[in-house]
Amino acid sequence: MLSMQRSNVSGPAVLGPLSNHSQGGAVMAAVARRDNLTMGKSVAAAGSPMAAGLSMTLGVLSNIVALIILAKAYAQLRRRSKATFLLFASSLVVTDFAGHIIPGALVMHLYLSGGVSLPRDSDDALCQFLGGSMVFFGLCPLFLGCAMAAERCLGVTQPLLHASLVTKARTKLCLCVIWLAALCVALLPTFQLGAYTYQYPGTWCFIKVLENTRGSDVAFVLLFSGLGLTSLAVALVCNTISGLTLVLARLRKKLCNRRSAKSHDIEMVVQLVGIMVTSCICWSPLLIFGLMSVTHSYNSSLGQDVDIYKTLMVMGVRLASWNQILDPWVYILLRRAVLRKIYFITKQRADLKGSTFRRWEISSFQSSEKNAVNRI
């Protein structure tokens, strides 16, 4: 395509002599058309505004439904451990909701305006705010998932210590610390540690990981990805310990009067495992691709693979955006009421198939007896 456009640019010189001024104008017009065409194709390759709008609408509706369910559950709760979990879960859903609306609206604005031509000076306020929002709303769910897993691990393994340490006031303080820590990381580029820049195809901003990276950019990506991956690892360890503890308690059948409490604990741990799996699937690619890209860019070893890394970053951010859509559905679908209904429906179908199979066996046995008597 570029060679075709270059031949079109040089075509007028063959047709007839032109002045230097007219030749320069023709070249500039052709280059402008080429850049606009390239940018348009890049935006089209990244996805249509219709698809982005549908995913944004789905995320908003999912978070609203989850908030309504959490509000009803909080109003009907009777256990303090459940209240702490619901407070964390509500904060996670609210954070996902805000993280879906704020960056999503800015990305939609860039989509509808056709994106920006790259490379582009990223010192404008829009890019800085969008990049900071993506870092802030990216770290918050990971931190919250880690805190929820640690809280449940303490509640399952050390219930007495949990009852004495975990209170509503301390839970709210923990939430404030999490949001403040994520905000401090997002504001680091204002102190010249790292930078936000427009990313391919010019419709979103994120940490600079490609082209002209400096040591501060590498440090910023290492901090962001390191905190995210560490949160996922801690959540994995805590949920594994909680799950094993509950399984062992069920197998030993200790204290029959604590079965209802254990059912609550199992429900919360199952939901945490779902949140952790969703976060790992959605966020790990972006965290890992960011580390790979900035490392190769800093070492000047990208070469011809720069387009591949650009595509990987776009794939990573698309997966990460789905985390805010799927998180609410993890809580909506992995509730005891829903799981109980699924269990009963599955059991009824299994019983129906079993009864049909038994009736078929009896009828076939009776018919075989009749055939044997007739033969005799």
Written as one string, the DSSP assignment of 246-313 is HHHHHHHT--GGGHHHHHHHHHHHHHHHHHHHHHHHHHHHHHHHHHHHHHHHHTT--GGGHHHHHHHH
pLDDT at residue 190 above 60? Answer: yes
Is residue 117 left, alpha or beta, with left meaning phi > 0 and alpha meaning psi from -120 to 50?
beta
> What mean pLDDT do residues 138-155 have?
93
Mean pLDDT of the chain, nearest integer: 77
> Which pLDDT band holds residue 356 (cuts at 50, 70, 90)?
low
Sequence-ordered list of residues with C-beta below 8 angstroms from that of 177, at least 6 positions apart, any chain = none
Q: What is the pLDDT of residues 29-76, one digit of tens each?
A: 443 343 443 444 444 444 566 776 787 888 888 889 888 888 887 777
Q: Report, in angstroms and rounded to the nearest whole number, the Rg of the chain calculated over CA atoms.
A: 29
According to the model, what pLDDT value does residue 16 have?
Answer: 41
Degrees to nearest 5, angle at CA 142 with 136 and 147: 115
pLDDT at residue 262 above 70? Answer: no
Residue 205 backbone phi and psi in degrees, to 5: -120, 145
Select the more confidently predicted residue: 8 or 251: 251
199, containing H or E segment = strand 196-199
Q: Is the dihedral of CA 310, 59, 95, 328 positive or negative?
A: negative
Q: What is the pLDDT of residues 317-338, one digit of tens each?
A: 989 989 888 888 888 888 877 7
Per the CB < 8 A criterion, the answer to whether 81 and 160 are in contact is no
Q: What is the pLDDT of residues 155-184, one digit of tens each?
A: 889 888 988 888 889 999 999 999 999 999
According to the model, what pLDDT value does residue 222 have?
Answer: 95
Q: Tell me the two tokens of residue 298.
A: 């800093």
Per the CB < 8 A criterion, the answer to whether 271 and 330 are in contact is yes
Q: What is the pLDDT of residues 210-227, one digit of tens each?
A: 878 888 999 999 999 999
Per the CB < 8 A criterion, the answer to whether 128 and 135 are in contact is no
According to the model, what pLDDT value does residue 110 have?
Answer: 83
According to the model, what pLDDT value does residue 49 have?
Answer: 64
According to the model, what pLDDT value does residue 86 have?
Answer: 86
> Which pLDDT band holds residue 4 (cuts at 50, 70, 90)?
very low
Alpha-carbon span 323 to 316, nearest angstrom: 11
The percent of residues in the chain predicted with pLDDT above 70, rounded, is 74
CA 114 to chain centroid, in Å, comes to 25
Q: What is the pLDDT of residues 367-376, one digit of tens each?
A: 554 554 455 4
Is residue 193 left, alpha or beta, with left meaning phi > 0 and alpha meaning psi from -120 to 50?
beta
Query: pTM (2 decimals)?
Result: 0.76
